[in-house]
Amino acid sequence: MNNKFLFTFLLLCSIHYGLFATGDAKITIRLTHSNMGNKQLVLNTVADYIEHNVGAIEQCGLTDKNGSYTFHISGIKTYHTFNLQVIGLTYRAGYIAAGDDVIIEYSGDGGKGIQANYTSYRGKGSAALIAAGKFVSIPVVVFQQFNAKTDCSKLDLDTLCSAAQEACRENLSMLDFYRAGMSDAIYQQLQADQYGAVYSVLVSFLTKNIGKFTNVDALASLMAQLYQADPKLKVRALLQSKDYLGYRFAFASLMNAMRRVDNADSYLGICNELIKLDHGLLREKTLMKFLYRNNAIAKSQNPDLVYSSALSNIKTPGYRKLVKELEMSRRAGAMAYDFSMPDSSGKVVKLSDFKGKVVILDSWFTGCSSCILMARKIERDVLPQFKDNPSVVFVSICADKIKSTWLQSLNSGEYTNKGSVDLYTDGIGLSHPFMKKYNYYGFPQLMLIGKDGHLLSSSMPRDGKGMVNMINHALRK
């Protein structure tokens, strides 16, 4: 699922509704469909973007008597990143500046997710939201032509690069059309976003297809072109751009793949490429995004070296603290978080209730097709090996916001298995302390906890054989 709204409705208004104190702003969301109006809506705002909702301030609410949600944001110095979460799905909506009074209207029922053609925007601050929804990407036909080939030449690379450059020019032209309705800071921020969004798609595509290149020198030449084409923007815009930071991470991944680094050392290789690629705060931010995005670093060949290499290049005290906490939450041998959650009968269950047992935690949410596949894989390949073993416990943790949705999913039998202990994050989903502790925002997630309550793996293997071997190893400890 794309983590941003696709804004398509053209409506711009410069009227400022209401008066604010310095540094304050307001977002009003009107959901006209009764089905949507009964849902809890969550607004996350963050002044310093790192990854997902790290460091975000969360507000939750239900509609008022007029069918509207109203959120007030205070303490804005320049602008904050915000995203909205509704019916269990998260969308990165954009930026909110001091004095903004944005009204977002949605008329869909949410049955197929949030659809752009049902969304409109008005009020001060809406220009940036409308403009962001107009971004174009590289035409699909360009990738289709590339995929049809078995060997790719410099001409093929030039074609891809030209398509990316054309998409960027079109996006910049569109941004200029809305320029009068946004501040210089947000204008630069959107420039960084559009550049990052286009080129991260290109670079990620090249990484996946690196085996098609017989001439790696041509690919290296293209990478040099992309590096030189970086937008000349203020550093703050680059530091706060999810898309631009993602592009730098994708760039380092491709450079690492070009060096044919063994997969077991790929995370360390990417970390080293990021260190060489940027400097100062931009290097710190790209490293932070890389570490937070990759939970599987914990099961790589050299996880300690990855974190120590990153930390040696992160100087900001607050960032260093976050990285150390992140590392400890994933480190094998650390004491696992002693969660406390209700089951379907309302009984509160704690991790400490399973002392002396090996615990497999499977986290999921309704609508996650990969979660269904994982549940079936566990049922087919793992459960039969331990069905008569009282020392093994399977626990499912659901991140749904709506309890009735969770209960319906339990009754369907799609997401869990018979005999598992089914727990619920009590309506706070990703804001639950357990989810925040382990930085979960993508699912499914599999964790293994030993008989002594210590973490054995924060990212279990996804294949049945690997899971069985790891559980057997934990039983022998």
pLDDT at 84: 84
Distance CA 38, CA 88 (A): 13
Question: How many domains are there within the chain?
Answer: 3
pLDDT 10s digits, 251-289: 899 888 887 656 667 899 999 999 998 899 999 999 999
Residue 439 near residue 310 (C-beta atoms within 8 A): no
Distance CA 67, CA 63 (A): 5
Buried b / exposed e across 321-344, counting CB within 10 Å, b at 16+? ebbeebbebbeeeeebbebebeee
Question: For position 462, which CATH number holds?
Answer: 3.40.30.10
pLDDT at 4: 36
Average pLDDT over residues 4-22: 36
Q: Any residues with CB less than 8 A from the CB of 211 and at least 6 apart, and which?
A: none
Percent of the chain beyond pLDDT 70? 88
Joined tokens for residue 385 = 């090996």
Supply the DSSP string of 55-90, one letter for each residue.
Answer: T-EEEEE---TTSEEEEEE---SSEEEEEEEETTEE
Q: Any residues with CB less than 8 A from the CB of 254 and at least 6 apart, and which?
A: 203, 204, 206, 207, 210, 223
Task: Using the 3D structure, point to which of 307, 330, 353 is the last residue of a domain.
Answer: 330
pLDDT at 38: 66
Q: Is residue 146 situated within a structural domain?
A: no
Percent of the chain beyond pLDDT 90? 51
**Cα distances (Å, whole numbers) of residue 149 to 144, 209, 210, 226:** 9, 10, 12, 23
Across the chain, what does the average pLDDT equal? 85
pLDDT 10s digits, 201-226: 999 998 888 888 766 677 777 777 77
pLDDT(386) > 80 = yes
pLDDT at 11: 26
Q: Which helix (H) or strand (E) holds 25?
A: strand 25-31
- Both 103 and 191 in one domain: the answer is no
pLDDT 10s digits, 227-260: 666 778 888 899 999 999 999 999 899 888 887 6
Q: Is residue 170 situated within a structural domain?
A: no
Distance CA 236, CA 409 (A): 43
- Both 355 and 441 in one domain: the answer is yes
Q: Note down the domain range covering 267.
A: 177-330
- Both 66 and 102 in one domain: the answer is yes
pLDDT at 411: 92
- Both 357 and 447 in one domain: the answer is yes
Joined tokens for residue 434 = 């357990």
pLDDT 10s digits, 285-320: 999 999 998 888 887 888 899 999 999 999 999 999
From 23-37, 119-133, 142-156, 168-182, the region with the lowest mean pLDDT: 23-37
- Both 127 and 270 in one domain: the answer is no
Q: Is residue 17 situated within a structural domain?
A: no
- Both 124 and 189 in one domain: the answer is no
- Both 326 and 345 in one domain: the answer is no
Average pLDDT over residues 333-355: 93
- Both 321 and 344 in one domain: the answer is no
Task: Using the 3D structure, point to which of 299, 330, 361 is the last residue of a domain.
Answer: 330
Distance CA 133, CA 153 (A): 34
pLDDT at 35: 65
Residue 119: pLDDT band by 50, 70, 90 thresholds? confident
Q: Is residue 167 situated within a structural domain?
A: no
**pTM exceeds cut of 0.85:** no
Residue 55: pLDDT band by 50, 70, 90 thresholds? confident
The residue with greater pLDDT, 78 or 212, is 78
Task: Using the 3D structure, point to which of 330, 362, 385 is the last residue of a domain.
Answer: 330
Q: Is residue 166 situated within a structural domain?
A: no
Q: Is residue 372 situated within a structural domain?
A: yes
Question: For position 103, which CATH number holds?
Answer: 2.60.40
Average pLDDT over residues 135-143: 90
- Both 361 and 311 in one domain: the answer is no
- Both 269 and 401 in one domain: the answer is no
Residue 1: pLDDT band by 50, 70, 90 thresholds? very low
Residue 87: pLDDT band by 50, 70, 90 thresholds? low
Residue 101: pLDDT band by 50, 70, 90 thresholds? very high
Distance CA 400, CA 430 (A): 9
Phi, psi for residue 45 in degrees, rounded to 5: -125, 140
Q: Is residue 367 situated within a structural domain?
A: yes
Q: Is residue 155 situated within a structural domain?
A: no
- Both 100 and 230 in one domain: the answer is no
pLDDT at 112: 61
Q: If you search the block for the tokens 């079109």, which residue do you land on? A: 170
Residue 122: pLDDT band by 50, 70, 90 thresholds? very high
Buried b / exposed e across 261-292, counting CB within 10 Å, b at 16+? beeebbbbbbbbbbbebbeebbbbbbbbbbbb
pLDDT(19) > 70 = no
- Both 381 and 325 in one domain: the answer is no
Average pLDDT over residues 339-350: 94
